[in-house]
Amino acid sequence: MSQTHVIKVTKDKMNQMRVSYEKNRLNKNIPYTDFIAKVGTTTITAYTSGKVVFQGPDAERIAAKWGISTSSKSSKSSSTSKKNNTNTLPANFSQLSVLGSDEVGNGSYFGPVTVCAAYVDKDMVAKLKALGVRDSKELTDPQIINLSTVIKEIIPYKLLIVEPEKYNQIQPKYNAVHMKVALHNQAIYLLLNELAPIKPDAILIDQFTPEANFKKYVKSEKNQVTEKLYFITKGEQYHVAVAAASIISRAAFLEELDKESAELGIKVPSGAGSTADKIAAKVLEKGGMELLSKYTKLHFANTEKAKQLLKK
């Protein structure tokens, strides 16, 4: 039976794992991941939060090499857990008036982090679906940009863009999860103020951290949103408001990448793979760390890799 084992590792241990699985890495660009590798029939997904998930028949043995498993479950129990999670949403949730939020760019070396909160009144749900608003991962980049333009004309939203230069100033004080909590909270707070006196039936956040963790970090924020909050992974499947927020966020991220490419005169990639290392080395050669800091998230491992490439 397929097993899932989860461990939490330090930055040093994560670096060791990244080197160890260099030859096993998969060329996948998944948000919030440091790397994804496959060893035999076991998939290893390392998240920027420090969590590492091992999935496959040999997961327990491979995970044991790196640390003590914090959770272990069969694929059957995993699906049960997901089912229970959806039961926390109110009945007929997809047809309610909902404020949804999502973010893009946290797992990409180049480009900003974009967070969007979008409000979809129950009377607009069918219209958005008819326009083709759905999970942004199912859409091409041109479709995303075109849809975003339309969506922004017909529903209220609040978009926050944290450029790399600003991100690098914040990052030493805020870890990746804390930063996302702060941005989601702020986008939701600002949109709620604009909507007043209208109040959504619910606020759905595309879940990137356990609810307790979100609430822990949000306590340090000046303007805390705490009522009617719901958290669920793949939130775009449960309400079109999250799908709309995802599309607006993704479009903004893509537009910022295009802007970076134009300014640098080099096509910059999304993600944090080997292509990003090579482009970063070119940016370093062009303007050193000062220039690189304006376009990338410096704490990513890509920075050191780019430096090494430049020495060769």
Residue 133 reports pLDDT greater than 70: yes
In this structure, are 184 and 36 located in the same domain?
Answer: no
In this structure, are 104 and 246 located in the same domain?
Answer: yes
Name the CA dihedral angle for 110, 184, 234, 14, rounded to a multiple of 10 degrees: 50
In this structure, are 110 and 138 located in the same domain?
Answer: yes
For the stretch 71-118, pLDDT in tens is 444 444 333 334 434 447 888 999 999 999 999 998 899 999 999 999
pLDDT band at 229 (very low <50, low <70, confident <90, very high): very high
Q: Angle 192-196-201 (CA atoms, 0-180°, nearest 5)? A: 65
Instruction: Say which CATH number the domain at 223 has.
Output: 3.30.420.10
- Nearest-angstrom CA–CA distance, 81 and 98: 24
Number of domains in the chain: 2
In this structure, are 171 and 43 located in the same domain?
Answer: no
Q: What is the pLDDT of residue 84?
A: 37
| ω into 197 cis (within 30 of 0) | yes
Residue 231 reports pLDDT greater than 90: yes
Q: What is the pLDDT of residue 67?
A: 67
Q: What is the pTM of this model?
A: 0.73
Instruction: Say which CATH number the domain at 20 has.
Output: 3.30.310.10
- Nearest-angstrom CA–CA distance, 243 and 234: 9
Q: What is the pLDDT of residue 68?
A: 56
Q: What is the pLDDT of residue 277?
A: 94
Lowest mean pLDDT, pick from 82-86, 164-168, 235-239: 82-86
The CA-atom distances, in angstroms, between 265 and each of 8, 198, 257, 279 are: 39, 46, 12, 11
The more confidently predicted of residues 18 and 30 is 18
**Backbone φ, ψ for residue 190 (5° rounding):** -65, -40
Q: What is the pLDDT of residue 59?
A: 81
In this structure, are 191 and 135 located in the same domain?
Answer: yes
Full domain range(s) for residue 136: 93-259
Whether residue 164 lies inside any domain: the answer is: yes
In this structure, are 98 and 232 located in the same domain?
Answer: yes
Residue 180 reports pLDDT greater than 70: yes
Sign of CA dihedral 49, 13, 289, 24: negative
